[in-house]
Structure 1
Amino acid sequence: MIVLDKVIADHSTLCNIALNDSFIEKNKYDCIVDRIPNIKLRRLSEYEFKNGITKLLEFDTDKIQHEAYGKVLYVETETVKVPAVYHLLCEIILNTNAKVRAKSFHSVIEKYYNKVLSKYEITSDQFRAQVRLFLPYAKLEKLHKLCNEHYIDGSETIWEVEECFLYPELLREEVYSIVNSIYKSNQPELISFDVKLAKDLPGNLVKYFRIEVTVKNTTEIRTHHLFARMIDENKEKIITEFTRLPFRKERFLSEIILDLLKELGAEKITNFCPKCYFTRRDMLIFDDISMDGYKPWDYQVPVSYRWLDTAIKLLAKLHASSIILEEKLGAKLGKTVRLDEEYPDDVREAAFVSKEEYREIEQCNKRSIYGYLPSKFPDVPKRINMNKLREKVKVAYDRIFDIVKKSEKIRNVLSHGDMWGGNIMYKEDKTTNVSSAYLIDFQLIRYCPPSLDLMFLLYTNTARATRVKYMKELIILYYKELDQILGSYDIDLGNIFTFDQLMESCKEVEPSIICISLIYGPLLQFPPQQRRYIQNDKERGTKYFKVDNSPEPEKAWDHEHFKIRMEELIEDIIRIYDNDE
């Protein structure tokens, strides 16, 4: 593209000055506002379109998270210094149409980044953030130019500016990237896209969106249904920063692990999760598998054995993927490869990080174990010595921070970290049995023993009767499935770890897993509305997790399923007590 070569030449010298709104000559956009009554809009009213322009021109640098953008470098034009990325985008937008940009936009800006900005210690993510920031202004600049030339009626630029106001979360050029990812080609034509907030999925730290992308590929027109998860930047900074590492982990899985497996010839193992078509520092976009009938299990109903069968086989596939990656990549590089050594920042612990930060939650749960729950079941103190129980529970709680780490006793795997039923999307066949499933939400990925995911899955999702009857059988099922998967890649599981090693590891982590289930189990068993109140009401949530959690279960005690779960928790507590007795 000739325009790019010129921009690269013009940007041979850039300067670093504080980001400001001087590049926006606000008065000159009055002509657009004057022409609004004559503009044919698709979705917005005249008032909404005018309001969109007004908000865009209110460029408040104080609201911009500067760390997301890195250094915003400026280039000196004939009249004024403007942000280099803004200047690049203006040149592209002014000299191309949507059809051309659909095929070449991302290759052009990638070439610019590699040739120019990469030398200035600006990361690829920061560059992409700057592109997002300045694209609407570049399109507004083209609309201004068309207004001055009285060539505006029916212009695609009107609709592109309108899209910026309608869908600020996702720009057209990002949708081009999604289409390219779906079709592995830049030939399909984007017809339209729509972004809607998924109000039926309330998020505490994130927002969810459903996206429809309609594409023409040769003669076929098809609408793709996608699902997006996005960090809510309107939350307090401490909350959004808390979500950064989990989002990074999801990107790590999609951008590195799955891509590496495909490069190593193990693509068929990657279907344990929905396809991810787009990643951004604050957004991930996947296939919306709910449109194909996939849904999470109703947590207030005990899972079926068939569901467990499917979930355990799915878990084995996830764990097998990391072993396959390490073995194949190691063979290719001629060295031993371990994910925690290759990608330490991406697999570091995100949940149980600091004992001190966790102490209030621990003490609150212990008070429930020693006080509230036994008070509801007067026979418990008669069955066990409460002082001994306190000691055993303390040891089990403290060991949580050890079991989530790399083990020296058994081969470690890429662990999901949060294997409760809400993160396992399943699809029933005509006989209502589970036929297929996907794992979702990999925000707590860690590198640790496989027993952690396996025991968490079994303790968090099953009725106690199921665990008592089928625990060993289900562990055997997991081992056999893992053996079969690895065998198909000429890897002998016996050389990785034995069944006895797995059983020993399961027994070792079991008391701590019971403690984790005590933390989250009651919350998940509350009636849905009560659970949402606790999650979304900061004061109520803090009291439940860190001060006194007994008032909440007291409100739910009349619900039969909740009472049954509490009875089972008591038996699990006694299991801790009886361990090694």
Structure 2
Amino acid sequence: MIDITKEDIELILKKLLIQYSGQKSWKIQSLSNKETLGFLGDHLILKVYNDEKKIVDFFLKAIPRHVEKRMELINVCGFFIREVKFYEHFMPILDKLSSISFAPQFFFVKTEHFIVLENLKHFKTFSNQSRVLDYDHFKALMKTLAIFHASSIIYEEKFGELSEKELQMLREVSHPDDKNNIRSAGVESCIQVMIELIQLIPKYKNSMHLQEILRKFPFVMRSIYNYVKPSKKYRNVISHGDLWTNNVMFKYDSGKNIEECKIIDFQFARYSPPAVDITTVLYSSTTKEFRSMYYEEMLDTYYDSMKIELNRNEIDHEKALPYEELCQSMKKYRKGGLIEALLFCHLTLLPSDLASNVLNSSEEYEKFIQQTRIEKCMSAFEVQYYRDRLTEILCELIDNFVL
């Protein structure tokens, strides 16, 4: 049950440029009846009416109070509060400094309950079974991501380094370096899944190196905690932290050409080098074949967009973020991007029937976290798209950073 009041509705409408007079009524409905959309929140539509039957739509993201274990995870880890702080404090500043609107507009939050944002009804995710982006969509994302990161650089260049309070708002919540944190248990569970899957990959199951791989692999995976920390060597920016296919939306013209790209879901926002976001989405949302063909072009697209945005604000891009530094950091953070891709994809690529079952039942969610993750992922590994994607990522990580 969403606890929204008449006073809440009035506050939301005040942020619109168009005024709606008359008696207000509203209703909340699911964004989709087909499947659960969102691992860390329920995605809903808020429809507001007046006595003239005019309608305004908003996107409403709510804590899943009906699934106790998911709600507990969100509250303990502070995911919802993180997104609230990003939209309340950072987004108004970054949006003003940016040449485009790279994220949905923020309207209202009821702390620990829900957040109300612009309904991107004219935008769509580029969704396919394998959760990979094609050339045009990835290129559009690189341009938008560069402008988002540039707004962070512009902010610090104009107003000084982030304050301690602001850095605290961006402290790591996805992979905090704390063995007692529930997220650490998730990493360990993923490691156990991957250990089982590695032994099913023909390239490794009969290899003389199999035992060496199984011994070293967990230590490589645990380096994720260093990957997400602010860097002491490379420039840090306000980063998304959860960048994969479903967290990017596109708007098309009548000819189905991409007009706009927006980034959504900032519950993992952090302070890190730009390469952390880029490598995360590169390895979680493209194929090895795509990267071999377009890696340099996509990095150039990102940097060209960054350069234009910084120059527009009379900031020397070679001092703010040298191209050589970006290239070096991409190499350094490659391993982390592959690890993050495994942490994402073993869940996000689950067949929808398995994912919906897990996310919509508190009992099934607890079982998945504590008992059935290996079983379900092993079952999913029998499905070709899941097997192909996980195998590709595992092989690239093992061949380059384990052996």
The TM-score bracket by the shorter chain reads: 0.7 to 0.9
In 1, distance between residues paired with 2:187 and 2:125?
32
Encode CA deviations 1:321-372: one digit per residue, 9 max, x unaligned: 1111112223xxxxxx225x241331111111223435543443333434x2
Q: Name the CA distance, whole Å, in 2 between partners of 1:396 and 1:430.
A: 47
Whose RCO is larger (CA < 8 A, sep 6+)? 2
TM-score if structure 2 supplies the norm length? Answer: 0.87
- Counterpart in the other structure of 1:307: 137
Structure 1 counterpart of 2:41, which letter? Answer: V
Alignment correspondent of 1:266: 97
- In the other structure, the counterpart of 1:287 is 118
For 2:73 and 2:344, locate their aligned partners in 1 and report how far apart those are by CA, in whole Å: 23
Gapped regions of structure 1 (runs ≥ 5): 1-166, 331-336
**Selected match of 2:186 from 361, 366, 371:** 361
Q: Which has the higher helix share?
A: 1
Identify the match of residue 59 of structure 2 among 186, 208, 227. Answer: 227
Match of 1:242 among 65, 74, 93: 74
- Aligned equivalents of 2:226, 2:308: Cα separation in 1: 30
Which of 189, 192, 201 aligns to 2:24? It is: 192
Percent identity over the alignment? 23
Q: Which residue of 2 aligns with 1:180?
A: 14
State the 1:226 CA deviation: 0.9
Give the equivalent residue in structure 1 for 2:262: 438
Question: 3-state DSSP class of the match of 1:226?
Answer: strand
Native 8 Å contact 2:125 2:249 kept in 1: yes
Amino acid at match of 2:245: G
1:382, distance to aligned residue in structure 2 (A): 5.3
Distance 2:168 2:74 in 1: 15
- 1:419-568 counterparts in 2 under 5 A? 419-538=243-362, 540-542=364-366, 544-547=368-371, 549-568=373-392
What RMSD in Å do the two structures reach over aligned CA positions?
A: 2.9
Q: After superposing the two structures, state which structure 1 stretch, 236-245 or 343-352, moved more.
A: 236-245
1:251 aligns with 2:84: yes
Give the match's secondary structure for 1:183: coil
**Contact between 1:319 and 1:413, CA under 8 Å: does it hold in 2?**
yes
Please list, as runs of the form range in 1=range in 2, the aligned pairs for 1:82-93 lying within 5 A after superposition: none
Unaligned stretches of 5+ in structure 2?
A: none
1:272/1:205 CA distance change after superposition, 3 Å? closer
Shift of 1:301: 5.1
Return the offset for 1:212. 2.1
The one-letter code sitting in structure 1 at the alignment partner of 2:296 is K
Q: Is the 8 A contact 1:360 1:547 kept in 2?
A: no
CA offsets per residue over residues 490-509 of structure 1, 9 Å max, x none?
11121122222122222222
- In terms of Rg, which structure is larger? 1
Match of 2:235 in 1: 411
| Code of the aligned partner of 2:57 | H
Check if 1:211 corresponds to 2:211: no
Contact 1:456 1:517 (8 Å CA) reproduced: yes
**For residues 473 and 243 of structure 1, do their structure 2 counterparts lie closer, same or farther at Cα, with a shift above 3 Å needed?**
farther
Counterpart amino acid of residue 422 in structure 1 = N
Q: What secondary structure sits across from 1:456 in the alignment?
A: helix
Cα deviation 1:86-137 (Å, max 9, x = unaligned): xxxxxxxxxxxxxxxxxxxxxxxxxxxxxxxxxxxxxxxxxxxxxxxxxxxx
Any conservation in 2 of the 1:294–1:437 contact (CA below 8 Å)? no
After TM superposition, give the deviation of residue 251 of structure 1 in Å.
2.2
Whole-angstrom CA distance in 2 between matches of 1:384 and 1:494:
48
Deviation of the 1:456 alpha carbon: 0.5
**Do the aligned partners of 1:299 and 1:421 also contact (CA within 8 Å) in 2?**
no
* Cα distance between partner residues in 1 of 2:215 and 2:322: 32
- How many residue pairs were aligned? 396
How high is the TM-score relative to the length of structure 1? Answer: 0.62
Residues 1:398 and 2:222 are matched in the alignment: yes
